[in-house]
Amino acid sequence: MKKLLSILGVATLVVSAPLSVVSCKKQKVTNENEFDYEALKNNLFEATQQIFNSTLKNDFDNYFFVSQDGGDNGVDYPFGDKGIDWFITNEEKITNLDSNESLEVQKDISEIINWDKLEEEINSEILSNVNYKPILVDGKTPLKDGYTIEDIRVVSNDGKDSVAIYVTIGANFYFLNEKQEQQVERLIDFKTSITITENKLDAISLNEIKNNYVDTLNSVENANSFEIKSDKGNLRKTAESINEKHSSNEVFNQFKNIIGEIKFKDELVSFDDNFIIETNKKDTVDAVVYFSRVTDTWLNSNSECMKTIQSALRGNKSDELKLIEELSSNDSKWKPNYVYQTIGNIKELSAQYKDFSEIWNSFNLEFNLMNKSKTFKNSLNNSNFKLNPNEERNYIALFRSTISSVKFTYKGKTYDLPDEQIVVKQRPKSENTKVLYKQFITDSFHFQQQFFGYNDGLVDQSNQFVLNKPTSLMSTSPGKVLNAIEVLDLLVEANPKAAAFLEPLDLNLEICEDHNIGNAPTSKMTFNKNGDIFFWRSANPTDYWFNLKNYFFPADQLGPSYNYKDFFTLGNRNDVKVKDNSNLDLANSSWRFG
């Protein structure tokens, strides 16, 4: 049985060089800014995990290499009179967490852990944050059980001159679910090791190598050197690609180059190549601070914007070029951006440099890092990483990656090094974000033009969009309510020519129920006996329409505020409103099956 160790006694930003940062007050969740329980729980989990990991790492790193005379930075030997011979003799007993020998080691390990410090961080970063209160159990710490030592392993290093104790520490994570019921999950385990050397000088040398490694990785130059080039906005897939170990992986190559220069006593340290990079797929930072959208609507069909959109959809290449150029411009009148409400001098910066999109850029990215991504920001407390937007303006995302299983050779024997975090910046393969944003607009337009039947001459003067009917829906009875997300996937599969326009940037889609008072992602879909298509979300929607949105950064990866992220539409189809869902055979729709 595992031994439980009890707990012992947003403002407008004006960017300049250097960049000044405006503090972000904690915003209380209101009805106008409703939270998503799953997103809020994920945020709480990530914040708790970050505090758990960083506190324990800080506690254990000075004990990574110790002799019986002590460890790094003057810490005392943690195991009393238990030396290398004792650990080797009792290896199997220590693995059994209920044995007396294991309990002794667990007590020694518990003396290293500063749980009071962790609770101070929980109180400061979590309990004082009003946004977390709806999901905290009785308003108390989510780690109310303390921590558990999950595993202890003893491994000798080919002899009796050193031995490594591998330790795994876990904790229960408590929260209230959407039904206000208490739920518990497990944090990701924290893993570390303590290597005991017989020779005091060996411990000193090993700690020097460890510190050279940590300091080199975190030098100003190296901490800011990790990049991945990609024109795709799917941050989870990009995070996965950072982890892939192959010769063309820029991050792996950068890390290998860095450790290849590390020396000890003027000799290069020998590292193996079996290290692992694991990138956090949930806690990322994107470079969008505010949405922009086509402001004109199909109800206003005589406006220059809507005339150009409809002409371009019907194949007028001159109007298509005019439309794409206008919508992708930093000064677009038809798809104006509101970035200036967050970055107060973005127009001045744009005019000065002329090489970035106001929608995606490093100025926006830094604002989100400093003001919207507190867990990510807090993870950088001991890092020399710093964005310099005035020097490089075209980064579009940030990732934090853990490098683990790093091993080196000393006196013919192999030793582990502690896990360390790096920050990876995403830069477009395109020349800059202006070029990339224009491609986003171009590909999104071409997708919707093909998806809605214009390229195949299926749309008449009524402009009712005509979609390919998926084979799997041919036998489905009209009026049957279907899952909107699943149907959207089927609709894309049924139109491979349209789907091809999504691939270069890996664009994401969403269909929203829209009203004059707001919009939300749809969850239901059906069609009537005439083939008219209906998407909706509300229980009894009235006087609504629905729109197809293209996202560069997928909506489901952007949290509860994704509606403030940028997207592409052809303008609101409020010229055809669904008055009432009670009898859809008599209802109008702007979409139908061909």
Indicate the DSSP class of residue 297. B
The confidence score (pLDDT) of residue 557 equals: 58
The confidence score (pLDDT) of residue 104 equals: 98
Domain boundary assignment for the chain: 34-198, 200-292+337-429, 433-593
Using alpha carbons, select from 508, 452, 458, 454 the residue that is nearest to residue 485.
Answer: 508
Q: Which long-range contacts (CB under 8 A, 24 or more apart) does 9-13 make?
A: 10/342, 10/371, 10/372, 11/371, 12/341, 12/342, 12/343, 12/344, 13/342, 13/343, 13/344, 13/367, 13/371
The confidence score (pLDDT) of residue 454 equals: 97
Which two tokens mark 91? 């290896």
- In the numeric block, the tokens 């010229």 are attached to 575
The confidence score (pLDDT) of residue 556 equals: 65
Neighbouring CB atoms inside 10 A of 232's CB total 21
- Residue 96: which residues within 8 A CB-CB, separation 6 or more? 102
**pLDDT per residue as tens, the chain (594 positions):** 333 343 333 333 444 333 323 333 333 333 333 457 888 899 999 999 999 999 999 999 999 999 989 999 999 999 999 999 999 999 999 999 999 999 999 999 999 999 999 999 999 999 999 999 999 999 999 999 999 999 999 999 877 899 999 999 999 999 999 899 999 999 999 999 999 999 999 999 999 999 999 999 999 999 999 999 999 999 999 999 999 998 899 999 999 999 999 999 999 999 999 999 999 998 999 999 988 889 999 999 899 999 999 999 999 999 999 999 999 999 999 999 999 999 999 999 999 999 999 999 999 999 999 998 889 999 999 999 999 999 999 999 999 999 999 999 999 999 999 999 999 999 999 999 999 999 999 999 999 999 999 999 999 999 999 999 999 999 999 999 999 999 999 999 999 999 999 999 999 999 998 876 566 789 999 999 999 999 998 777 888 999 999 999 987 655 444 455 789 999 999 999 998 888 888 888 999 999
The confidence score (pLDDT) of residue 516 equals: 61
The confidence score (pLDDT) of residue 7 equals: 34
Whole-number Å distance between alpha carbons of 573 and 555: 21
H or E segment and range at residue 352: helix 346-353
Are 197 and 66 in contact by the 8 Å Cβ rule? The answer is yes
The confidence score (pLDDT) of residue 520 equals: 79
The confidence score (pLDDT) of residue 33 equals: 38
Whole-number Å distance between alpha carbons of 338 and 289: 9
Query: Side-chain half-sphere of 46: how many Cα atoms within 13 Å?
Result: 19
Q: What is the DSSP string of 6-55?
A: -------B---SSPP----PPPPP-GGGPPPHHHHHHHHHHHHHHHHHHH
The confidence score (pLDDT) of residue 553 equals: 92
Whole-number Å distance between alpha carbons of 493 and 490: 5
Q: What angle do CA 474, 475, 476 make, to 5 degrees?
A: 95
Are 165 and 149 in contact by the 8 Å Cβ rule? The answer is no
The confidence score (pLDDT) of residue 387 equals: 96
